[in-house]
Structure 1
Amino acid sequence: MLFDIRTIVGGLLGIYGVILIVVGAVDHSAADLQRSGGWNTNLWTGIVMAVLAAGFLIWVRLRPTQVPQHTESGGPAE
């Protein structure tokens, strides 16, 4: 499970999402809000990234990677 690409992508999205949530909650000014049309883009982008990260990590838990078993002849088992 550690080397599954979904785990890596979910972890990175989660880390970046948390960073953006903190930055959006702490460091936003009226000038930033005016430039973005009234949206706190760091906060909303961070929330979306955190939700996607949770989706990836839930996907890994619900559908783990299946490693095919091989017979002694070298072919896949049936």
Structure 2
Amino acid sequence: MASGGSGHSAGAFDIRTVIASLFGIYGVVLVVLGFIQPQAEIDKAAGLNINLWAGLGMVVFAAVFVLWARLRPIKVPTDGEGGTAAE
């Protein structure tokens, strides 16, 4: 995981982290709804618990995005690293 340049990572400002958190929150809500919805709603969808499966898919998607952001962080260069910062 060694990189050639110094600097700090984008961290919470990385767009992958924002996307993962949104998908994670919506996924957890759908999983909870999938467990508490009545059987009549499941029967309307041909016996498939759509909320549960969609929620699980969204949670897995969020986990992949978090893993991607942790394994390959975006490095933000400091002012002295090739930037054209005015003095």
Residue type at the aligned position of 2:19: V
Which structure would you say has the larger RCO, counting Cα contacts within 8 Å and 6 or more residues apart?
2
Paired position in structure 1 for 2:71: 62
Identity of aligned residues (%): 46
Residue type at the aligned position of 2:66: L
TM-score normalized by the length of structure 1: 0.83
Unaligned runs of 5+ in 1: none
Q: Is the 8 A contact 1:28 1:40 kept in 2?
A: no
TM-score normalized by the length of structure 2: 0.75
> What SS does structure 1 have at the residue aligned with 2:12?
coil
Aligned residues: 72
Displacement of 1:63:
0.3
What stretches of structure 1 move > 3 A for 4+ residues in a row? none
RMSD (Å) for aligned C-alpha atoms: 1.6
Displacement of 1:28:
2.9
1:4 aligns to 2:3 (yes or no): no
Residue type at the aligned position of 1:18: V
